[in-house]
Amino acid sequence: MIFSFYTLKEIAKELFSNKVNLFFMLLALIISLTALNTIYSLGASAKKQILDALANVQFGKDAMLIIAGGGRIIGLTTTRRDTLKLEDVEELERLDFVKLASPMSRETLEVSYKDVAEKMRVEGVFPNFTLANNWYPILGRFVNEKDLRIFAKVCVIGADIPQKFNVPASELIGKKIKINKEFFEIVGVLEPKASFGHYRRDERILLPFTTAQRRVFNKDYIDGVKLLFKEGTDIKFAENKIREILRKRHKLSGPDPDDFRLITPELAISIFTKTVKTINFFLLVIGVISLIISGVIIMNLMYANIEEKAPIIALRIALGATPQNILTHYLIMSLIIALISGIIGWILSMILMQIISLFTPLKPLFSWVTFLISFGFAAATSIIFSLLPAIRATKIEPSLLLKSL
Amino acid sequence: MVKDLVILKNITKAYQTGKVIYPVLNGIDLEVKEGDFLAIMGASGSGKSTLLNIIGLLDKPDSGEYFFDGQEVSKLNKKESAYIRNRKIGFVFQAFHLVPWATALENVLLPLLYKDEEITNEDKEKALELLKRLGLEKRINAKPSELSGGEQQRVAIARALINNPRLLLADEPTGNLDSQTTQEVMSIFKELNEKGLTVIIVTHDPEVAKFAKRIKLIKDGVFIKQ
């Protein structure tokens, strides 16, 4: 059979001759494809969101975060967490692959301005915080060397803080806020950054490191260090080297667990995407099940179609159609079903993602690869489940059917 | 000398339902020469349609030999018999059997879809010419549901002729038509035969059989001597 315009027209006409049947065949496949596309798109979008956000805070591939205290990455520390010191950082800074090290300490303290008071994250930072985190003030200035030297009682506030105090950001510069009974002059407001989940990045107050340690936190250890490596640094090697130095400095031997945590970008991504992955896995299972269900629906409707069209199939055989012609005929028909539902499913999933993006930070993603994969799924489901009915069609005996009519 | 187009030798056929075997054809011998117009008559259940199915390669005999156009065809596989049906045999059925969603023209072109050749403009011209010859030039884009019984049967005849068959087989072609239309359709068969086409029709109507050059009567699966 030459695959011609006439053949295609004939197949399409047969397909559209029973619109109810066609509608349900399409519906079944469209629903599962929409679900699958949306699930995939959500996952991809979430991952992209996280990658973008990480890159945005200078947590690209050449970065590492050291957090005081050992244990699981997320959760309570299981060791002392007062062992990470500024001296450790000084030694790490001497490593030839380290470009920049920015230590910090933090506490959650009550912060108040006029009659508004709230518990907030307060950090002691160095001027290189801006470089280390690609995070700069949008108004005013950042903490400088002089502030560190003189233990200046100044602070830089996160972008969401003015809103908390119900004052426009520009009016807050030069004003004083109270942290732990001490007053600090606001000298700058940070630019806004994307947040992950419940962690509000823009709700923080930064103090000069020395001021924070001496006047507010009253401690001699630090809570973390952000490290930037020189380009092309082997992260694995760097991680091992850093672990070795810190363990030695903290006098940890063989079985002792690390009293610090090293967070690499890869690890960060896997933490952030873990939840998404778990949800995605279940949704994917549901998606595949729905695909199978739609396959079975297609199979049944295809059987019904072939049963209904049996006299015409018999006629085709009488007019010279070979079993292969009949098989091709119904497989092309199932491909048309796949094509239509593939396109509609894709469009619907894009609309669905658009709606989801109104309520979440996830943006719809278009990718040709997923578009084609979705067609692949549609075509595979449709063809596999149409195969048996199509084979049955080839077995129709023209003599018996023609006589019966 | 006129060539034999169809030669059947001692053809038998039986159908089985459960454990019961119903013999339908009990040793049929038949010769049909090119240009012949044969009417096979018999009561219902006499085996005439089964015989026509075997002649048209829609069914296989249980035993016996069948030569079509000089070739033994009783043991061909589905693909081989489909090839012969497509190129050498035209069928006209009692119930017309037109594809309901296709226009008259598309119905006529249908056998060409299975010919392994692209449908050309000449094919289309030929189909239009056939429809015109059968008086359907104004109905080419009509669907079967918009056509009268006689018109539908004429479309079916045009379809049977599109591939220039050697043999035209008609199973009760006027069974669903009124007497006037019956006359019209049978005149078409007669005219086609006069132009050289070999025609075999199966009927139980003597009025229809009268159009044929010769008549054979079948009873209980054998031809009876006249």
Question: B142-176, pLDDT tens digit by residue?
Answer: 999 999 988 999 999 999 999 999 999 998 888 88
- pLDDT-derived band at A332 (thresholds 50, 70, 90) equals very high
Q: What is the pTM of this model?
A: 0.70
The answer to whether the beta carbons of residues A352 and A34 sit under 8 Å apart is yes
CA distance B174 to B191: 16
Beta-bridge mates of residue B222: B219
Buried-state track B167-193, b at ≥16 Cβ within 10 A, e below 16: bbbbbbbbbbbeeebbebbbebbbebb
What is the rounded average pLDDT of the residues B114-121? 86
Give me the total of CB pairs closer than 8 Å, taking one residue from chain A and one from chain B.
Answer: 92
- Which residue of B58, B92, B155, B164 to mutate against A (max A Cβ within 10 Å)? B58
What is the rounded average pLDDT of the residues A323-338? 91
Instruction: Tell if the CB–CB gap between B114 and A1 is shorter than 8 Å.
Output: yes
Percent of chain A whose predicted confidence (pLDDT) is above 90: 38
Residue A58 is predicted with a pLDDT of 64
Q: Which residue has the higher pLDDT, A137 or A56?
A: A137
Reference A388, options A336, A334, A342, A341; nearest CA is: A334
Cβ-based neighbour number of residue A142 at 10 Å? 20
Domain edges within chain B: 36-53+74-224
* Cα A172 to Cα A137, A147, A161, A176, A186, distances in angstroms: 13, 19, 10, 8, 7
CA distance B1 to chain A (A): 31
**Cα distance between the two ends of chain B:** 26
| Residue whose structure tokens are 């078409």 | B188
Is residue A288 over pLDDT 80? Answer: yes
**Cα distance between the two ends of chain A:** 27
Instruction: Tell if the CB–CB gap between A4 and B58 is shorter than 8 Å.
Output: no
Residue A195 is predicted with a pLDDT of 64
Is the domain defined by B36-53+74-224 classed in CATH 3.40.50.300? yes
Instruction: Tell if the CB–CB gap between B111 and A319 is shorter than 8 Å.
Output: yes
Q: What is the pLDDT of residues A142-169, one digit of tens each?
A: 999 999 999 999 999 999 999 888 888 8
Chain B residues close to A320, C-beta within 8 Å: 82-83, 85-87, 111, 114-115, 163
**Burial class (CB within 10 angstroms; exposed 0-12, middle 13-18, buried 19+) of A339:** middle
Beta-bridge mates of residue A228: A63, A100
What ipTM score was computed for the predicted complex, to two decimals? 0.92
Return the sign of the alpha-carbon dihedral for residues B98, B103, B108, B114.
Answer: negative
**Angle at A138 (CA atoms; ends A136, A141), nearest 5 degrees:** 70
Tokens of A371: 């578009």
Q: What is the pLDDT of residues A190-205, one digit of tens each?
A: 998 866 555 678 889 9
Chain B residues close to A398, C-beta within 8 Å: 58
* Cβ-nearest to B110 among A319, A398, A399: A319
Residues 95-154 of chain B whose Cβ lies under 8 A from any Cβ of chain A: 95, 97, 99-102, 106, 109-119
- pLDDT-derived band at B38 (thresholds 50, 70, 90) equals very high
Buried-state track A383-394, b at ≥16 Cβ within 10 A, e below 16: bebbbebbebbb
B77 touching A (Cβ < 8 Å): no
Q: What is the pLDDT of residues A219-262, one digit of tens each?
A: 999 999 999 999 888 888 999 999 999 999 999 888 888 889 88
Buried-state track A280-302, b at ≥16 Cβ within 10 A, e below 16: beebbeebeebbeebbebbbebb
Tokens of A354: 């658009």
Instruction: Tell if the CB–CB gap between B102 and A312 is shorter than 8 Å.
Output: no
Tokens of B64: 């016996």
CA distance B47 to chain A (A): 12
CA distance B48 to chain A (A): 11
* Cβ-nearest to A6 among B49, B58, B109: B109
| Residue spans of beta strands (DSSP E) within A209-307 | 224-229, 260-263
CA distance B201 to chain A (A): 15
- pLDDT-derived band at A56 (thresholds 50, 70, 90) equals low
The answer to whether the beta carbons of residues A132 and A58 sit under 8 Å apart is yes
Reference B69, options B84, B79, B51; nearest CA is: B84
Instruction: Tell if the CB–CB gap between B113 and A405 is shorter than 8 Å.
Output: no
Return the sign of the alpha-carbon dihedral for residues A74, A79, A82, A87.
Answer: negative
Residue B135, helix vs strand vs coil: coil
